[in-house]
Structure 1
Amino acid sequence: MRALVMEQGEDGLAVAQITDIDAATLPEGDVTVAVDYSTLNYKDGLCLSPKGGGLVRTYPHVPGIDFAGTVEASDDPRFVAGDKVVLTGWRVGENRWGGYAQKARVKADWLVPLPAGLSPRDAMAVGTAGFTAMLAVMALEDHGLSPDKGPVLVTGAAGGVGSVATAILAHLGYEVAAVTGRPEQGDYLKSLGAATIVPREALNETVKRPLEAETWAGCVDAVGGEMLARVLGQMKYGASVSAVGLAGGAGLPASVVPFLLRGVNLLGIDSVMQPIENRKRAWARVAKDLPLDKLHGMVQNATLSDLPELGASILKGGVKGRVVVDVNA
């Protein structure tokens, strides 16, 4: 079977190679999946980098934190040959071989049956980024967000998480304000349903005032850092922010004042270790609430050989929307 394998050189740096490997070398697991598609997320870019982004511990390594395909063999009664499945998270592709290969072997507990209405390619157009976006929207709704409350901000909107969040929120009837540092992406974001485009420069500077005008009823934040600190001071009373990323830094130079005087909620969104029932709930919502025409419009196609270049690009913020990887091409 063909796979993208990261091999570590004598200098300690890893290099990607497309090569044939024996399926017998796959890690232990309950279920063997014939992979149809994988995708590219920020974490994949880290795993594809020469030092593994601090995520890869041992080499040789097959990256790919997501995949979708067909069960080939199963020792678990929950899955039988021919079942369509999707996997995201569980450290697959990080400390365990992942989806950048024609086959993968994993624990049955990590697999979700592919929801009706989604193809394996659709599922990887969603991937971890879109799955995380859906979790973020669900968390905001669980904390009281509804379309009548006012506009919802999406930061890093042209990225994978932001693109899917924008499309989902717009489809659900929310007024979406999309933040981007790439003005040329304005038309793209409006095609996903964004009502307004907010230049990154308008939010990426900290201010001395802990509170500003109450502006946003909710926020999906993929940036973190100074922008998140600024946004917290602009949230409406009782509003929530779903924090999904740290493209702008892991620090948070914020004040507690928005939490104390406006009851603002900061909701941490983890997609890696989500319980299986919430995974099923999120994937069912994706199938219901993410318009496939919008999803297809944010996708670029790739093969295994494209991944080293794309991996470097996504780390620099150079990838728009979602990337679907045909591992058999």
Structure 2
Amino acid sequence: MTTFTALQAREQTTQGFEQVIVERDTAELPAGELLIRVRYSSLNYKDALSATGNRGVTREFPHTPGIDAAGVVEASSVAEFAVGDEVIVTGYDLGMNTAGGFAQYIRIPASWALKRPQGLNLREAMVLGTAGLTAALCVDKLEQAGVTPGDGPVLVTGATGGVGSVAVALLATLGYEVVAATGKAQQSDLLTRLGATRVIARSELQAGSERPLLKEQWAAAVDTVGGEILFNVVKALRYGGSVACCGLTAGTAFSGSVLPFILRGVNLLGVDSVELPLVVKASMWDRLSLQWKLDLEALVTEIGLAEVPQAISQILAGQIAGRVLVRVD
């Protein structure tokens, strides 16, 4: 048994939820084939929901959030992993109803872990995290649908968020003309540095919601926000265009006419990075470590566990841009 430090979300009787640093014992962790000493995690919107009591994400409290973790195997009961292996864990139930990466140790099923690709160190892997993996999956979906850099502008909504900012950087690196949409005009310079050729206000995507079709603008899009904005993006796709959908910060409701689909032949592509088969995740991580490797230091804010509660408040208030890397000391 080993004592370790963890962040824990706790329900208070009258004051909602709090996040506190606690000492735990590895004997308290759930069953699993791998015990991992976590070196880095990252803060995602889903982590903030879990940490503040959203029972659609986490059912029981107290709980340790953190849907991402990168670290070193300290104990293994399977032949596939040895003590000392460096591994990445993203998605599945980690940080949702299984104690997650905002802790010095996690214990998980071996089927959730993959060995760190040689082209990424543990820190780089968590700069990407679930957000980077999701962005890569979105770009891959668009390319599978036939989108190429010469087709025209590709829109990225929620462009200053974790997924959006990595998507902007990846698309630009691959030679696409990227238009970044954001509600944070003060971050326009950052998006330009990442490779966006144009930055537009989020409000531009909210106009015309009452119309069944909008002027054709986008060859493709990565949508991280959902809601009314997503359907306005669909209505403004060029003939045969595609949008990869992966987020819900603007809402889960999706309503509109079938006209964009039957008159312009557009495609709405769903992207999931949580329950994705591990072999597919591994292929994406390999690409992110080699031909799709990015320099994302301009996006990174690095914090320790003690600073996570403040960052949770900031991400829920829409005050964070880019990626928050959590150093687990």
TM-score range (shorter-chain normalised) is over 0.9
CA distance in structure 1 between the partners assigned to 2:65 and 2:91 by the alignment: 12
CA distance in structure 1 between the partners assigned to 2:259 and 2:290 by the alignment: 38
> What is the letter of the counterpart of residue 89 of structure 1?
G
Tell me the CA shift for residue 285 of structure 1: 1.6
- Which residue of 2 is the match for residue 192 of structure 1? 194
Tell me if structure 1 keeps the 8 A contact 2:103–2:328: yes
TM-score by length of 1: 0.96
- Which residue of 2 is the match for residue 120 of structure 1? 122
Tell me the CA shift for residue 100 of structure 1: 0.8
- Which residue of 1 is the match for residue 247 of structure 2? 245
Tell me the CA shift for residue 9 of structure 1: 3.0
Tell me the CA shift for residue 302 of structure 1: 0.7
- Which residue of 2 is the match for residue 303 of structure 1? 304
1:148-297 to 2 correspondences below 5 Å: 148-293=150-295, 295-297=296-298
Which gives a bigger RCO, structure 1 or 2 (Cα 8 Å, sep 6+)?
1
Question: Per the alignment, in what secondary structure is the counterpart of residue 290 of structure 2?
Answer: helix
Tell me the CA shift for residue 290 of structure 1: 4.2
- Which residue of 2 is the match for residue 13 of structure 1? 16
- Which residue of 2 is the match for residue 132 of structure 1? 134
Size of the aligned set, in residue pairs, is 326
Quick check: 274-283 or 155-164, which moved more? Answer: 274-283
Tell me the CA shift for residue 80 of structure 1: 0.7
> What is the letter of the counterpart of residue 82 of structure 1?
G
Tell me the CA shift for residue 59 of structure 1: 2.1
CA distance in structure 2 between the partners assigned to 1:131 and 1:186 by the alignment: 24
Task: Give yes or no for the alignment of 1:317 onto 2:311.
Answer: no
Quick check: 38-47 or 278-287, which moved more? Answer: 278-287
Tell me if structure 2 keeps the 8 A contact 1:206–1:229: no
Tell me the CA shift for residue 41 of structure 1: 0.2
| 1:165-208 alpha-carbon deviations (Å, 9 max, x no partner) | 00000000000000011111110001100011111111112344
Question: Per the alignment, in what secondary structure is the counterpart of residue 124 of structure 2?
Answer: helix
- Which residue of 2 is the match for residue 69 of structure 1? 71
Gaps of 5+ in 2: none
Question: Per the alignment, in what secondary structure is the counterpart of residue 219 of structure 1?
Answer: strand
Question: Per the alignment, in what secondary structure is the counterpart of residue 219 of structure 2?
Answer: strand
Gaps of 5+ in 1: none
> What is the letter of the counterpart of residue 326 of structure 1?
R
Tell me if structure 2 keeps the 8 A contact 1:172–1:289: no
Taking only aligned residues, the RMSD between alpha carbons, in angstroms, comes to 1.3
Q: What percent identity do the matched residue pairs reach? A: 46
| 1:85-116 alpha-carbon deviations (Å, 9 max, x no partner) | 11111021011111111111000100111111
